[in-house]
Amino acid sequence: MGGDFAPGEIIAGARRAVDELGLNVILVGVLELMGDPLGLEVVACSEVIAMDDDPGTSVRKKKDSSLVRAAELVRDGRASAMVSAGNTGATMASALLRMGRLPGVIRPCIATPIPRPNATPMMLVDAGANAECKPEMLVQFAQMASTYVRAHYGVDVPKVGLLSIGEEPTKGTPLVKETHRLLAAMSTLNFVGNVEGRDLVPSPVDVIVTDGFTGNVALKTLEGALKFVFATLLGAIATNETTRAAGDVLLEYVLPVAAELSAENQGGALLLGVDGICVISHGASNATAIMNALRVADEIDRGGVTEKLRTTIRPDEAA
Amino acid sequence: MSADTVAPLSRAAILELVRDQLAEILEKTPGDIAEDVPFVDLGADSLALIELVEALEESLSTYAAGFHIDDEDLEGLTSVRDAVDYVAVKLQVA
């Protein structure tokens, strides 16, 4: 049970998911650190994987940690999904090593929904699981994210863009250029070409594919920029009596939009490519974010997304 | 030989096992896994190696109950040959 506001906000979010959404939630954690579980079922463990622990070795060494135990609950069929706001790399490693990979998948990736006003979210893959990637991995990320968007959001033919520094196929690193060539040759993907950083919000495509290093930098840049803009706006509104009066009118309309676009209402990111459901919530998740992550995990389970992903990767198509 | 006796492993069999498991992890064919090429050049990162270690431990437990690769020894395993030699010594394969 990790996260910046664990255990309080995590348990509160889980309790809300039970009360407000009717979900069945199991808490996995160290009893002595957990405090009051608010009447929820608990699977006790004895170890904690810290935010700065090495992902691979920590999963191997701390076999009785909450992350490893949660992944085992999914593997063993005792839970339909796991949700974590803890160490992202260790979450991926736990899911990978305990649940295993879906057939043909080289490496799982993180699909983070980026909200769009009055539209389904754009899915950014990889948002941070794989700092170094090969072109074949990016092709698989695009395939899996397209399947996810189709299955979960009902977008029949998702548009896929490749993040680069220009629209032309000749722009970008060797990784981007080779990935462009492979994606363009695929008949089963609706690849529309390169997109740029400015296309992250609001995105003209349904899926943006990139390596995990770039994706994570883009995601965090976006998050920081939006916070800055909103804080600046609120500062301007507070300038004097006139602006405050205008703010009284404006905020009634601005705040609901801000809430709709906030990370806590998006429900976390799905780890694509493992043989089970693993939703990664923001490290700074509050109770609302955890409740929404649990909601998304449940929706993914009921929608049979993992089974649809199972037949997504066809290695011969990427050649 | 009784029904539950497991035939001893040869070095060639260990090599085949390591190659097969690494190939599965890296989505390659076993023939692409050269014995002397460093893991990193085969495309195996630290997480892939941990997948390999856990897969080997599970497979080799059939031959030696509780077979375990020490984390401290992982740094010395940089290629398939290293891994095969390590397992052979641990299982006392001639």
**What residues in B contact A104, CB-CB < 8 Å?**
27
Angle between helices A88-99 and B46-60 (to 10 degrees): 30
Question: Is residue B36 included in any domain, yes or no?
Answer: yes
CA distance A180 to chain B (A): 21
Q: pLDDT averaged over chain A?
A: 92
- Could you state, in order of their start, the residue ranges of all structural domains in chain A? 1-105+273-290, 114-267
What CATH number has the domain bearing residue B55?
1.10.1200.10
pLDDT over 70 percentage in chain A: 98
Question: Is residue B47 included in any domain, yes or no?
Answer: yes
Total structural domains in chain B? 1
Assess contact for A138 and A185: CB atoms under 8 A: no
Question: Is residue B3 included in any domain, yes or no?
Answer: no
pTM: 0.88
Q: Cβ–Cβ contacts within 10 Å for residue B88, how many?
A: 16
ipTM for the whole predicted complex goes beyond 0.85: no
What is the architecture of the domain spanning A1-105+273-290?
A: 3-Layer(aba) Sandwich (3.40)
**What residues in A contact B43, CB-CB < 8 Å?**
134
**What residues in B contact A134, CB-CB < 8 Å?**
43
- Answer whether B27 sits within 8 Å of A134, measured CB to CB: no
**What residues in B contact A59, CB-CB < 8 Å?**
50
Query: A114-267: which CATH number, 3.40.50.300, 3.40.718.10, 3.20.20.330, 3.30.70.330?
Result: 3.40.718.10
Measured distance CA(B39)–CA(A166) in Å, rounded? 35
Residue of chain A with shortest Cα separation from B69: A60
pLDDT digits (tens, 9 = 90+) for A124-152: 999 999 988 999 999 999 999 999 999 99
Cα torsion through A51, A109, A270, A288, rounded to 10: 30
CA distance A239 to chain B (A): 52
- The residue segments making up the domain with residue B82 are 11-90
| The pLDDT of residue B17 is above 60 | yes
Phi, psi of A20 (to 5 degrees): -95, -25
Phi, psi of A231 (to 5 degrees): -65, -40
**What residues in A contact B46, CB-CB < 8 Å?**
56-57
Question: Is residue B2 included in any domain, yes or no?
Answer: no
CA distance B52 to chain A (A): 10
| The pLDDT of residue A302 is above 60 | yes
Closest partner CB to B50 (pick from A56, A104, A132): A56
Same fold, A1-105+273-290 and A114-267: yes
Measured distance CA(A240)–CA(A256) in Å, rounded? 24
pLDDT digits (tens, 9 = 90+) for A287-299: 999 999 999 999 9
Best A53, A60, A102 member to test B by mutation, with max B CBs in 10 Å, is A60
pLDDT band of residue B3 (cuts 50, 70, 90) is very low
pLDDT band of residue B7 (cuts 50, 70, 90) is low
Residues of B with CB under 8 A from a CB of A: 26-27, 43, 45-47, 49-51, 53-54, 71
- Number of helices (H), then strands (E), in chain B: 4, 0
Measured distance CA(A189)–CA(A240) in Å, rounded? 53
- Answer whether A56 sits within 8 Å of B47, measured CB to CB: yes
Among A7, A90, A75, A95, smallest CA distance to A44 is for A7
